[in-house]
Structure 1
Amino acid sequence: MKILVTGATGTVGREIVKQLAEGGHHVRALSRNPGRAKLPGGVEAVAGDLAAPETFAGALEGVEALHLINFGGDDYAPLATGEQIVALARQAGVRRITVLLGGAATPLEAAVAAGGVDWTFLQPVEFMANHLEWAASIRAEGLVREPFCDRLSALVHEADIAAVAAVALTQDGHAGKTYTLTGPEVLSVRQKIDLLAAAAGRAIQLVELTEQEARERWAAAGFSPEAIAFFVEMYGNTPEIGTTVVPTVEKVTGRPARTFAQWAAQHAAAFAA
């Protein structure tokens, strides 16, 4: 099967490309800079921009399944080109579309749902890979600075998100479904730190920031007031979907979701002294 994966150099997209290629599928990986994509051998890297669908219309030739992300550009702006993308996909004969959701709904989802092609929406909670953001401070100082340290998360491994996407792209029975994706357990920030420390074989100190200190740090990092307000709401009042384990990964893929301890062991070197 020939499959086009957009967002192919992202955290989840790169895993989808890898798993589909390992499954023997012909994978085309869309990137704005394919020369720097560093994709697995045998994967066909193609140039294109989701915000300008005409740039990758040719890449859809012969494609049976398409994976989409719902934002474009470095600013993560919601895509406004959904109708054009879906029209091109339908004209090319694409049979299945998966969409990786994130945050609020965007126009893309409505366009895909109304586009006449079988679709599956993937709604993951917090990515385990997000914790690589802690790596620099752990390596340099042996500590993590975070607000809301008692907040809970049913965080999910990026490889499990990709595994569900790969099934939905290549097998029947998933059309018209929205899959919430979590890991197998709910953890606090403190528990995640303990698991990282065990995997890295070192002590890691947790320094809890006040909400105001967190706001100032995010502002200094260049986040907009809207993004900062979103972070405060998500961290300070995490919605139930983010703290409730569901068995979707195992039901779709046939194997248990990966734990954070497994993720930490795989990435232990990133947190080593």
Structure 2
Amino acid sequence: MILVTGATGTIGRHLVATLNAEGAAVRAISRTAGAVDGVSVHPDVEGVLRSAAPGEIDALFLHPRVAGERAPEILALAAERGVRRAVVLSAMNVDDPLEEQPSRLAGDRNRELDRAAAASGLEWASLRASSFASNTIRAFAPQLRFGEVVRYPFRGFEESLIDERDVAEVAARALLGEADGILELTGPQSLTHGEQVATLAAVLSRPLRFEEVPPEAAAAQMTQRGMPAAFVEALMARYRRHLAGPQHPPTTVVEEILKRPARPFARFVAEHRERF
């Protein structure tokens, strides 16, 4: 039995489907009611752990937004209830200054969860993922609906975008005992913002053009679209910090664990073209 938190989210829904395909028994935790891939969703991870028979749940996937500041308590309860293994979702920028980690403004507590897993006494793996490929939908799609020019800051900022499905598939392998420790997960290539837009142009067959704008102008536009000002400020700080080289240089961890190359960004775009 594997307990998956954040089961209806970006990673969790793919993870539940992957584990189901593997024939694993899954219990799903999410604040969103209903079901995911045929599995009923429960709202309270600690309630499920307490109600399960000792040793019934073998492994736990813990999302940083679900755990929050309570990661040590949740993992301690898991150990008490006979859970053997914990796999946690973290991020490649976990050791950057906290004010340069935009996802903290959305509730992620990557650093706290990463450290709690290592100190839990359980078998553990931490998925330190690079930026998700789907972030480009939020960054670029609103402009693509109205024209062929993408206005965005820091043309030369470079990162190795990862397809969320690759993160989920690595998580499944770790939950099934095939990977341990800190796993730095990236896509197969490092792309600048300008190169990401060039990839969109090639895959979507559109004459897109990247136009670099000052960070202050970009930040104002983002906040006008409803993004929290603190999130935007942290995002700009992250871009500035890593202009000297790629924030997430490609690793081979995904390929080593899954025995195939990580999905490239161009494939992600092709398979999600309607969202752009």
TM bin, normalised by shorter chain, reads: 0.7 to 0.9
1:155–1:242: 8 Å Cα contact kept in structure 2?
Answer: no
The secondary structure found in structure 2 opposite 1:80 is helix
Matches within 5 A, 1:73-92: 79-92=68-81
The letter for the 2-side match of 1:63 is I
1:27–1:44: 8 Å Cα contact kept in structure 2?
Answer: no
For residues 8-40 of structure 1, the C-alpha deviation after alignment (integer angstroms, 9 at most, x for no partner) is 1221122111211111111222111222x5x21
2:159–2:246: 8 Å Cα contact kept in structure 1?
Answer: no
- How many aligned positions are there? 255
**Alpha-carbon separation, structure 2, partners of 1:107 and 1:188:** 29
2:200–2:266: 8 Å Cα contact kept in structure 1?
Answer: yes
Match of 1:75 in 2: none
The letter for the 2-side match of 1:215 is A
Match of 1:180 in 2: 184
For residues 29-53 of structure 1, the C-alpha deviation after alignment (integer angstroms, 9 at most, x for no partner) is 2111222x5x213x232222xxxx5
Structure 2's unaligned 5+ residue stretches are 95-109
Match of 1:166 in 2: 172
Which among 239, 250, 258 is matched to residue 245 of structure 1? 250
Is 1:122 paired with 2:124?
A: no
Match of 1:101 in 2: 90
Question: Could you tell me the TM-score, scaled by structure 2's length?
Answer: 0.84
Match of 2:32 in 1: 33
Residues 89 and 165 of structure 1: CA distance in aligned 2, closer, same or farther (over 3 Å): same
The letter for the 2-side match of 1:68 is L
Structure 1's unaligned 5+ residue stretches are 73-77
Residues 192 and 270 of structure 1: CA distance in aligned 2, closer, same or farther (over 3 Å): same
Which among 34, 58, 68 is matched to residue 64 of structure 1? 58
TM-fit CA distance, 1:263: 0.8
**Alpha-carbon separation, structure 2, partners of 1:229 and 1:135:** 21
Question: Could you tell me the TM-score, scaled by structure 1's length?
Answer: 0.85
**Alpha-carbon separation, structure 1, partners of 2:112 and 2:157:** 31
1:120–1:168: 8 Å Cα contact kept in structure 2?
Answer: yes
The letter for the 2-side match of 1:123 is R
Is 1:149 paired with 2:155?
A: yes
**Alpha-carbon separation, structure 2, partners of 1:60 and 1:216:** 49
TM-fit CA distance, 1:98: 0.7
- State the percentage of identical aligned residues: 33
**Alpha-carbon separation, structure 2, partners of 1:139 and 1:203:** 13
2:198–2:209: 8 Å Cα contact kept in structure 1?
Answer: no
RMSD, matched Cα: 2.2
Residues 194 and 95 of structure 1: CA distance in aligned 2, closer, same or farther (over 3 Å): same
The letter for the 1-side match of 2:68 is L
